[in-house]
Chains A and B, each alone.
Chain A
Amino acid sequence: MRSSRALAVAALAVATATAAAACSSGSGSSSPSTSTGGSSSSGSSTANVTLTWWNNGTNQPLLGVYQNAIKSFEAANPGITIQNVPIQNETLQKTKIPLALQGNNPPNIYQQWGGGVLAQQVSSGKVANITSDVSSWIGNVAGAQGWAVNGQQYGVPVDLHVVGFWYRKDIFQKVGITVPTTIAQLESDDSKLRAAGYAPIAVGSKDGWPDAFWWESFALRDCSQSTVTSDIAAKNFTDPCFTKATNDLDAFLNTNPFQAGFLGTSSQTGAGSSAGMVASGKAAMELQGDWDPSVMQGVASKADAAKLSSELGWFPFPQTPGSAGSQTAVLGGGDGFSCTGTTAQVTACAKFLQYLDSPAIQDQLVGVGQTGEPVLASQSHAITLPATQTASAYLKTAAYEQLYFDTALPTKPGLNLDAAIANYFAKPSTSTASAILSSPSAP
């Protein structure tokens, strides 16, 4: 009896050892970054460091710009290897990064969007404080404070964004309409476009956050900057101006401005996406960030993509005259990266981020890459796309730029807000509308 028990223990031990060996070999093979990492080097030395880089540059032209940046950086910094891992935006942002930061092997350089979400990621204890690594040059980087938590730099932006309308000049001309400056004009343009057989405005409601751009844009027009800031901080939109914004949006939605089946449309995936519809001329315009031309390039046919440079225009979110908010405020944000890993990896990561923020790479990012605004004000001349130039010029005159609400809020309140707005788009009613206002504070 005793020996059989001993045997059972032996069998269990063998099985456990086998399982453990299998597990460890599995995780080992999936973590090239740590195996070649900085154990051999520490401090400021960056000899033989491998960094994995998670970003959303899955399509050309951005993919090519990132690949070239890696090549030239590696050539200038022997010993540092960067593995590019482009991941589809929604998956990257909502699934891969949160999970990776809970695990023990997060990517050494990963994309994030600053604000409350970054602050929450910092609480994982895995995001490196790179304040001292970047102190010599961060002063030149516009918007860098959005990637700081409690005065410490936990990330660096590489480009900035502004949200507005991307429209087809050729369609506007054909239908005989001009760029609207008020919501009333936008509504009148919409009806003419619909009469001419176009979907007036495309929106990718399947993703949720494009819906949120609409509600947030109305909120910027109807609420003062201080109200927006304080209610985001309170995670509760109690000020009556947000109810007005919801009512304004409701009235606008009643004019049926979007494409047929917009609730099932994704924003960035494939030719049927909202970006694809504008690129192919099925829809006349879209409220999106200035990454949109780059997305359109990726999902459009070659012929359509070639036309975009000359036919794409930009205008800011129309005004709602008589409202309490700023009529020139814009919604926006930026793409940034944070570092994780050993001291050597973090040092190398910071060095790479400095390289991405150098004038040469900034030129490529906003020029060929069409990512939006450079973080170096001196490089805005590198923007080649006329529509983005318009957006860039407008940003300089805007009253202020408000970070997207879902990013300014921590992860859960932000996603709750997006979900509540998407739910309101799906089933507009007084209950879904009022649910938006308290959604960030829902437990």
Chain B
Amino acid sequence: MSQRTATEAGLGPAAADDSAAAGPLRAHRRRSPKLIKRTELTILLAPGLILFVGFVFVPIIIAAYYSFFSWGGYGPLGPSVGFKNYSFAFHDLYFIHAIEHTLILTVLSVVIQGPLSIAIALLLNRKFFGRTFLRMVIFAPYVLPPAVTGIMWNLMLQPNGFVDQVMKSLGLGGLVQEWLANASLTLWVNFVVLTWQYIGFGIVLLLAGLQGVPRELKEAASIDGAGPWEVTRRITLPLLAPTIRIWGFITVIGSLQIFDIVWILTGGGPGESSETIAVYLYTKGVQATDYGYASAIAVVLFAFCFVFALLYQRFALRRDMQGALTREVG
């Protein structure tokens, strides 16, 4: 048994390389091509599968398990409280506010960043002087680590800081606000900074999608008398739709989980005015060491993302995913 295993373990890598396949091995292959396919799959999938199970699946199960306890993080797990953490979560005003803030950020991201990204991508898809430079400038913020973005904007938005000075020198001094200290403003400030960071990503994604729109179609439409606006509306946008749908998916999931920039920029404050679900989860779990409750929040956040992902794939991405998830195509 062990001898056989050793022989076949040696077979795997050789079989992966056709040119290296020698005569005797060919006989093996003819005998059981399925076996070789399985071997390849095992070797290629195992590392990914182990990582996925160990670092994604198991933690989710553990978090769900912890959420039924009132546990301070020290000593053995306990005591068990059943669904109390969940029932409390939905009566916890701070948590409900955090959900509201997160949903506001998510909706704003889609509604404002979406059209803005499409417009800028369409603009940057035209030929004009300095296009490459402009593309680079717009994409640059996305390359910055979010922590750097957070610290940079935190410094620029200080009272009498860079932003205030620029506004004053432009004659907009009357509009200057306490950007990071006005409790009714900080959520919007966070959104502006998030947009600054992530709009480049949307634009690059859409630009790539635009390259897939055949020029012949646009030319044909023009010859048939369609104006530029009509060409964009009836040819470009429908063909760009799969890219837009993917962008929407990434943006919504990213917004639901937003933590880093908000944490550095305002820490969720002042008070709880800009707390997102992930920020609230962190303060409850790591800082207040209330791991049971924080796990319940984590499970709720996971449920949000999971349900959204399923619905979106079912209804929005179905056509885009054909072939990848179904056997109907290919």
Residues on the B chain within 8 Å of A109, using CB: none
Q: How far is the CB of A190 from chain B (nearest CB, A)?
A: 18
- What number of residue pairs across chains A and B have CB atoms under 8 A from each other? 135
B contacts with A, residue count (CB < 8 A): 47
- In the assembled complex, A425 has its CB within 8 A of some CB on chain B: yes
1/0 per residue, CB under 8 A from A, across B160-190: the answer is 0000000000000000001111110010000
Q: How far is the CB of B273 from chain A (nearest CB, A)?
A: 6
B159 and A260 contacting across the interface, CB-CB below 8 Å: yes
Residues on the A chain within 8 Å of B232, using CB: none
- In the assembled complex, B200 has its CB within 8 A of some CB on chain A: no
B74 and A424 contacting across the interface, CB-CB below 8 Å: no
B288 and A427 contacting across the interface, CB-CB below 8 Å: no
B72 and A206 contacting across the interface, CB-CB below 8 Å: no
A424 and B271 contacting across the interface, CB-CB below 8 Å: yes
A419 and B283 contacting across the interface, CB-CB below 8 Å: yes
Residues on the A chain within 8 Å of B47, using CB: 15
Contact pick for A411, options B9, B12, B39, B72, CB 8 Å: B72
- In the assembled complex, A153 has its CB within 8 A of some CB on chain B: no
B270 and A426 contacting across the interface, CB-CB below 8 Å: yes
Q: How far is the CB of B3 from chain A (nearest CB, A)?
A: 10
A263 and B4 contacting across the interface, CB-CB below 8 Å: no
- In the assembled complex, A393 has its CB within 8 A of some CB on chain B: no
A19 and B50 contacting across the interface, CB-CB below 8 Å: yes
1/0 per residue, CB under 8 A from B, across A1-45: the answer is 101101110111001100100000000000000000000000000
- In the assembled complex, B242 has its CB within 8 A of some CB on chain A: no
- Give the docked Cα–Cα distance between A264 and B73 (Å): 30
Contact pick for A425, options B5, B38, B270, CB 8 Å: B270
A11 and B42 contacting across the interface, CB-CB below 8 Å: yes
B5 and A3 contacting across the interface, CB-CB below 8 Å: yes
A120 and B72 contacting across the interface, CB-CB below 8 Å: yes
- In the assembled complex, B266 has its CB within 8 A of some CB on chain A: yes
Who on chain A is nearest to B154 by CB?
A: A264
In this complex, the interface size class of chain A, counting residues with CB under 8 Å from chain B, is 35 or more
- In the assembled complex, A98 has its CB within 8 A of some CB on chain B: yes
B72 and A261 contacting across the interface, CB-CB below 8 Å: no
- In the assembled complex, B100 has its CB within 8 A of some CB on chain A: no
A272 and B158 contacting across the interface, CB-CB below 8 Å: yes
B272 and A124 contacting across the interface, CB-CB below 8 Å: no
- In the assembled complex, A173 has its CB within 8 A of some CB on chain B: no
Residues on the B chain within 8 Å of A206, using CB: 266-267, 269-270
- In the assembled complex, A95 has its CB within 8 A of some CB on chain B: yes
- In the assembled complex, B260 has its CB within 8 A of some CB on chain A: no
Residues on the B chain within 8 Å of A262, using CB: 181
A7 with B42, Cβ < 8 A, contacts A120-B72, A120-B74 known: yes
- In the assembled complex, A121 has its CB within 8 A of some CB on chain B: yes
- Give the docked Cα–Cα distance between A421 and B266 (Å): 17
- In the assembled complex, B143 has its CB within 8 A of some CB on chain A: no
A411 and B288 contacting across the interface, CB-CB below 8 Å: yes
The list of the 7 closest CB pairs from A to B, nearest first, reads A426-B271, A264-B180, A263-B270, A423-B271, A124-B74, A426-B270, A264-B181
CB<8 Å pairs between A and B, sample of 7: A10-B9, A101-B74, A120-B74, A262-B181, A263-B183, A423-B271, A426-B273
In the complex, given contacts A7-B8, A422-B270, A443-B293, what are 20 additional A-B residue pairs having Cβ atoms less than 8 angstroms apart?
A3-B4, A3-B8, A10-B5, A10-B9, A12-B46, A98-B287, A123-B72, A205-B270, A206-B269, A260-B178, A261-B178, A261-B180, A263-B178, A264-B158, A411-B72, A415-B283, A419-B94, A426-B269, A427-B183, A432-B271
